[in-house]
Structure formats: C-alpha cells, structure tokens
Chain A
Amino acid sequence: MCLSIPGKLTAITSQLDDTFRIGKVSFGGILRDVNLSMVPTAAVGDYVLVHVGVAIGIIDEAEAHKTMEYLLKVENLDEELNSQDS
C-alpha cells in the first residue's frame, strides 16, 4: 500500500479553487483520476508521483538524468581525487 507510482498528467478535469484540483493521470496508458491538491504547480505534461489517489510530488526530469549519470560522475570524482593525491 506504500506504493507510489509515476504517471503523466494529461488533463485537469476539475478545479474548485486554487488548490483543489483533480486531473487525469496516465500510468502507461491507463487513466485514473488523481487529486492534485498537494502539487499546485503541476501542469499538463508533467510527471507526477501518485500515492493512494493523491499526487504527492512532481518528478524533476533534469534530476532524473543526473541520477542516470551518477556512475559517470563517481568515476570522474575518483580520477580527480587520485590526481590530487599524486
């Protein structure tokens, strides 16, 4: 039940006030209604992390890329450290 899954916000379907919004989120093509009250800045096209029907965070694409490139960074760092040692 602790599972939170990323999905793409495809539409805002209802907006009662500034914060209370409901949107459609696509999880690999399966659409679900998601409460967007906790992510007021989420816009259509953003990837959001959804937990028990509520979006709890927006996924930062640039940070996602950094994660993928972490190992590369580690290797560079090692080289730097080694060259400093010598």
Chain B
Amino acid sequence: MKFITEFRDAALVKNYLDQLTEITTRPWTIMEICGGQTHSLVKNGILEMLPKKITMVHGPGCPVCVTPIGIIDEAVHLVKDENVILCSFGDMLRVPGSDKNLLEAKANGGDVRIVYSPLEAVSIAQKNPHRQVVFFAVGFETTAPANALSVVQADKLGLKNYSILASHVLVPPAMEAILADPETRIDAFLAAGHVCTIMGMEEYYPVAEKFHTPIVVTGFEPVDLLQGILMAVRQLESGIAKVENQYARVVLREGNVLAQQTIHEVFDVADRKWRGIGTIPMSGYEVKESYKDFNARRKFNLDFQATKENPECISGDIMKGLKKPIQCPMFGTKCKPEHPLGAPMVSSEGACAAYYQYAENKNLAEV
C-alpha cells in the first residue's frame, strides 16, 4: 500500500545500517518512547541488525502498560452493575487488576464490549437509552482527541447515559521524569510520531535543551526508525542536542490544532499515576468540571486507590529503561502472554510481550 511498502524497502534499510555503522564511534543508548515503535523494532528484527554500540531501550509508551491498577479495578467494579455496558479497546481486557481482569468480569456476566473507536460506544449509548454506557478511555495524546470527540458528540446528541472512565497519560512529562531519574542513562530519544501528529513539537524544545538530549520525532516503519536512529546518532556524535522531525510527512511543528482544541474543550491537565512508575505531576488528562456528567468517576462515585501490584514484576525498571524484559526472572516462565503478571506482557505494544513473541518466532525459525 502507498506510504507503507516504500518505507519497508530492504535495500534502503541496509543503506541506513551501513551509514549508521560508519558514523557510530561511541556507545549510545537511545530510548524509543512509543510501544508501537518497540513492536516495530522487535518485529522487523532491527534490534539485532543495529551496530553493537547502539543500545535501544524501551520507554513507557504503551497506554495499556501504564494504566494504573486502581483504574482497572474501577472498570471491573463498574461491570458488576447490571445496568452498565462497559466499552473498551480489546487489549485492556486481559490487563491484571488487583483481583480480576475485565475478561474474568465479563465471564462472570458483566456486559463488556470491545469497540474499535470511542464513537462506536456513543452509538451503543444511543441504541440503549435505558442503560449506562461507559467507555474505558485510556491512551496517550494520540487517542485523546477521539475520546474527547465522543464526549462532545454525546453532549450534542443530548445523551444522559454516556460517560468515560478516563486514564489519559502525556508523553513529555514522562520523558522529563525519566531524564531526571539519576539512575537512567539515556543519550537520545525517539519521540512518538503519532503523539506529535496531535501535539506538535513545541513541548520538546525545552526538554532537549534542559537535559542536553537529542529528540527525534520518528515514524513507525523500518525506514522511519532507522532514519530516526541515524539522525539521533549524528547529533550525538557531533555533540548537538536539538529537536528534529523525521516524520514530517505527517507531523507539523504546531501539530493538529483542531485536535488540541477538542482535547482542551473536554480535558484538564492533571497529576496522573503511571503503573510501575508512580505519580508524575501534570502528566495526564482529567474530564473538565463542565463535562462532569460525562465523567464516569463522578457519575458512579469511583475512587479506587488500592494497588496490589504483583511484587515479582519489574515493569517499572523496564519502562524507565533500566532493565530489559529478558532480565526479569519471571519472563517466559511464570509470566507469559497467556498468564501475564504485569501489563507489559499483555499488549503487543508492551516491551515484554514484544520480546516474548519475537523469541518464539525465532525459536520456530530455528526448528
């Protein structure tokens, strides 16, 4: 398909690898923020092809992985109410809560429905006027406009039975938290192209400057990723730390202003807890007071602070770039995609699941 195949071109990938090998003189650690990029790096075997001096570490950019356990518990609690229809993206269903996940809640008779878009959840609310429809609104900045749009639309339609359980997280504050952590050593970032499609690049200039760290806004195809890494290494090798845009075919410096307006119509920036990392100030979105009737947390009086995190899971260290999934003693033994102990093993965008899937494919290839 146009705009996909050409960015997977093997000859071009090889050219990039040659260039990278040529210019890399010192060891560099680069973090890709977005789980979609982690998945693409692993799936396309790029991690293995990179020069040995370049280490990629995988950031916290998988919304499924960072959604705090308390919010999963809130969702599980909601579906105990027979009047509630909980709509969710499919990959949230198997994320372990402190007691149950949503799939188990569904098996126990809860009305949990997988939707592709929050706008589908609004139609479900229209068709079921006597039931309460709640959309489990997780995601980064990329998903926020769609989730906000669902609220605006429900409001326009005069729906009284639609609300969202919002767990929105923001990328730049997480990057700053990671850089400020004295244990981390990250030389450069690949910023998530789709987040920047919405938010633009402005927020990254002060971060690059403050921490003297190159930030390259990067796409998701193999050629994009290799080009992003090459741009980062070029900066590192010449001691520069600026914001560059590899993904200019989609990302404008100012982002999608209309989408930002929709976000700010519905959401306020608020402190947010990240699973495995803890609370990061001003790192999430909460539904505005003016839309409080669409805020499931308010509508159903939810406030689940409890966090019974599995102590064996080291996902926090993985998302801060301190450890790799294979360094977790549970990886592939007690923790597998069928029985995940932690969220990064659930979503295919989670670093643990990506490594697990890849290791399996490799084993198959060797047989």
A: which residues have CB within 8 A of B? 1-4, 6, 8, 19, 27-28, 35, 37-40, 47, 49, 51-54, 56-61, 63-64, 66-68, 70-71, 74
Contacts and interface: CB of A to CB of B under 8 A. Distances in A.
A35 B4 CA distance: 22
Given A63-B248, A71-B12, A53 B256 contact: no
Interface string B2-37: 111011000010011001000000000000001110
Which of A52, A58, A63 has the most chain B CB atoms inside 10 A of its CB?
A52
Contacts of A61: 249
A52 B249 contact: no
Interface of B: 1-4, 6-7, 12, 15-16, 19, 34-36, 61-64, 89-92, 116-120, 138-140, 142-143, 145-146, 149, 192, 194, 197-198, 219, 223-224, 227, 230, 234, 246-251, 256, 258-259, 262, 347, 349
Contacts, number: 126
B146 A54 contact: yes
Contact of B250 (A1, A60, A66, A74): A60
Given A37-B258, A56-B145, 5 more contacts: A2-B139, A4-B142, A54-B145, A63-B249, A67-B219
A49 B35 CA distance: 18
B64 to A, nearest CB: 7
Contacts of B146: 35, 51-54
Contacts of A40: 258
B256 A67 contact: no
Contacts of B139: 1-2, 52
B262 A68 contact: no
A54 B117 contact: yes
Nearest to A37: B149
B2 A8 contact: yes
Given A3-B36, A28-B1, A68-B6, A60 B61 contact: no
B248 A67 contact: yes
A53 B194 contact: no
A71 B249 contact: no
Nearest to A68: B6
27 contacts: A1-B143, A1-B347, A2-B35, A2-B36, A2-B139, A2-B143, A3-B36, A4-B142, A28-B1, A35-B119, A37-B262, A38-B145, A38-B262, A51-B142, A52-B117, A53-B116, A53-B119, A56-B142, A59-B3, A59-B250, A60-B249, A64-B3, A67-B223, A68-B7, A71-B16, A71-B19, A74-B230
B75 to A, nearest CB: 15
B304 to A, nearest CB: 22
Contacts of B116: 52-53
Contacts of A51: 142-143, 146, 194
Nearest to A4: B194
A67 B91 CA distance: 32
A74 B226 CA distance: 14
A47 B91 CA distance: 27
Nearest to B227: A70
A1 B63 contact: yes
A6 B224 CA distance: 14
Contacts of B117: 35, 52-54
Nearest to B197: A57
